[in-house]
Structure 1
């Protein structure tokens, strides 16, 4: 059940990140996939820097969204180069 919630939060975070990061975009499906991968990245970044937004749905969604935004920014920079 935890993996299902992780995927749902990643999908929502990818959609939010796609709305926040302007650019050419990858479309809905691409942004959702990046959101799931960005959730891993956000968890890694926040744990590396020792930052905690607390548990629960809102904290997890915020961490995943930040990770997805960072990943989308990096991927879009590489895509333009």
Structure 2
């Protein structure tokens, strides 16, 4: 496993935790929050580059966490919208 993958996992865990705090509610639990954070990191990076931003890898740790958290917040919001859940 390369350092890049480990960095993405760490960023995903932080993004998942932050999303749980930002979106209020009980959260999905540690492991699901981590998965949401990881998926959100990829989604946020994809969205960032498609909106004209540079590759997420060109940014520092803080900006990568912000982008990943943004993606995770959007995914959580969409999940709640589809399921009708107000509390995750």
Q: TM-score, normalised by structure 2?
A: 0.82
Residue of 22, 25, 49 corresponding to 2:24: 22
Which protein shows a greater Rg? 2
| 1:1-80 aligned within 5 A | 1-23=3-25, 25-52=27-54, 55-80=59-84
| SS class of match (2:8) | helix
Structure 1 gaps of 5+ residues are none
Task: Identify if the C-alpha distance between structure 1 residues 76 and 25 changes in structure 2 by more than 3 Å, giving closer, same or farther.
Answer: farther
Which is richer in helix? 1
What is the number of residues matched between the two proteins?
Answer: 81
Q: Runs of 4+ in structure 1 displaced over 3 angstroms?
A: none
Contact 2:16–2:33 (8 Å) recurs in 1: yes
Structure 2 gaps of 5+ residues are none
